[in-house]
Chains A and B, each alone.
Chain A
């Protein structure tokens, strides 16, 4: 790196969770850092279901008073539903443990939360420019600029080029830059899901009443079964402060090849279901949004580092969908923190090559991020073949519940006699296989 004098110590692409936290760590350590964000403000292009598990934010901001943060609600109720076209079976779980410091989770809206996070980086001295899409990365093809052939040394936006010793790619799930950075090919449709979401305004009091929650608290509600009309996917409702988010997440390959009703029609059907429609009564839609979700787990992750470059957050496909919970944002925050810390280390050592940036991968390996992703590496494959969850089990549960709760005056039969034929519809072997598969994968 003889004469190479970069404009910045680090350039971060994308002011989402991973990007802003990485910039915060770098700036806090006294490094010069530029964040380039394509939205007109941080969060303008982002969308989540969604809820964030707060533990990773506590780790970045250990002294912060979390009651001051722009969260929507603290999640005190977990709801899971198995939906058939004409019925719905819901489990509602609440527990003090769900809301304790360090293990609590919050619903957030990204256009509200991300500007706050970006501001934390700015307060430490990071520079953020918005409304600028990074179109390309600068790569030192022959080593004539930085002394290392193949090293990433900056970004290009329109006519402008800016250089840095390290570039952190946090440009989201649909990154067009990871191919150039680390040779990552466009992910296959079977590893990706599409999310469509609508936000409805609803008064704080009505949300409290509908979801049986105290002021400031809220619910995370997941739907499986007929929401995606027999295909791989599910539905969500999250309570925000004075709105609710309702959406569908569905596997792109399954929908593209087999859906009779498009993904947005599935959301319309969910809204019309008798178990959901009353929630939306008198509510006013204020936004319709779409986003992709990386669901392939560790099997679809790109290389996490290259010479001069780190990949973090959704761009690195850090997400798991377990059916009963979906996580990604706490991984993104942690990855941003490790990326920032590892970049500082590499800058101090004067080596931002792939091996100089190894601290990032080491930190991830020793943390919940890669431990979780490894732990759940069988889940995507299991979910993909779990057709009975989307068609079969919802009807089985419906019929069992009907047997228990519908009283019409005919003499009651022993439970064993009424339930067995219903389970036989699905088949004991299938039931056994699915439970065993779930135990192995989860």
Chain B
């Protein structure tokens, strides 16, 4: 969840916007800074060099040659004093002689490279150095003599000038901090914009998500409000079209299904009327068959027997179609389950063939539909006798300290159910093989059993017992009627 949150659209948009704003601000700042710095330094450097040239041009002609130390000192002092700010430090050298404007100045800023460059060329040399955090401009030039023929000779006098550039540095620092300060509101603004943009995307996306969930819950009439004409609006529009198409096709499917179900129910219903007439006379046929010639008697008995089967089949079909249509109703009555099972077995003449393990009277009472419970037990026991083999055991247990559930287990002593058949035993008209084929019954018995258990809110399972034989287990929730008041009837 947390990881998903971090990878959500909103944080991603915020990060992206922030990055863009940051990179933009930093790039702009860097470029501005560079240009400004170059401009500021260039200007100050040009001014310094210009000023130095002017000073030297003025003072060089007065210089005795070869100069003495005092002359060099004089020049150094004069040049340094010429600057209004008084921050110039001047060094003049000739061969081994050194004179500086500030006595004892060691000129740490003066790099050998500058010295070498000044020594080797007549051009003005300058270098920006940063000595101990104090940036300075170092300028060096040779004093030359101009010949009348126009060529120039190096006099050997070299002048070095060190100008602190703290003002320029402060100016540049101010620029940098201005850029830094601008970055914070720029980022803040970017985040706010990102949140707005995210909201613009997320609101429709969230609406879409909720609508999709509603659709998944089966509310196919869900539609989105479409605002504007951007891609999200198009998406919402496409969603609405899809939902409408889905709703239409689902409605068609449901209609078809309902028609098919109605058809099955109607067919069974229509079959019942002729069967009612036929059922009424089967007893007459059975009674008189003995008095007919053998072929007619066989035919008559066949019609009688098949009428009984057909009646059962149609009855089961109607039962199944009522389950399918959701029209099956429970008629609950609080009964003693053990008694009910005993009666089911007795009514079908199975009391002697089936072993029972039932709790004492009133130990297993609950509200069930007695007719449906009878159908469940009769179908399972009938199935066990027909396909499994004797002895068949029926066990009823109440579980839970409050007797909230009942377990009915029907176990036979047959070969068990093949593994490939097990998953299908409760399917309609499922025939596994000739061994378990339907000798009688509609092929709907176990399907109806399963539906009858389900409508009680219970479950039924088929399995094979380790010791052999098939085991059908029914679990039923048992509601008790606990109030003792009169019910108004």
Q: Do A and B bind each other?
A: no
Taking Cβ atoms with an 8 Å cutoff, the residues of B that contact A are none
